[in-house]
Amino acid sequence: MFPILFLCFLLFLLLVDFVFLPRSVRRAWLMMVLTFSVAATMVLFTDAWRSLAHFLGIGRPVDILVYTATAILAREMFLSRARQAKTEEQLTELVRAISIDSATHLSTSKTQNQTNPP
């Protein structure tokens, strides 16, 4: 009974996210499909996963998923920090360019006001 309920729950989550998530995050949705597919196979084919875990020297089959998820999450954390640093650099360059443009524009208008008194 549990495998059927679990698979229905996973399908429900995927359907809800497919409908409500914006298209810009489809790549994340595909990663979720892959992860949920692995989880579904773990429920459906427990003996095969148990054999694989034993072959790899891992105690429980779910630990395969836990170790893999930990590695993927650590990677995502580092990539996110790199993207954040890049965004901060771009923001700094943009603010600097706006400040220089604003100062140049202010300096030019002061010069014009001094040479052309009303």
Structure tokens at 63: 């630990």
- What single-letter amino acid sits at 110? K
Other C-beta atoms within 10 Å of 99: how many?
A: 10
Other C-beta atoms within 10 Å of 97: how many?
A: 10
The pTM is what? 0.58
Q: Where are the domains of the chain?
A: 1-44, 62-118
- What single-letter amino acid sits at 15? L
pLDDT (tens digit, 0 to 9) for every residue of the chain, 118 residues total? 777 888 888 888 888 888 888 888 888 888 888 888 888 888 888 899 999 999 999 888 888 888 888 998 899 899 999 999 999 999 999 999 999 988 887 777 666 666 665 5
Q: Convert 26-50 to b/e letters by CB count within 10 Å (16 or more is b).
A: eeeeeebeeebeeeeebeeeeeebe
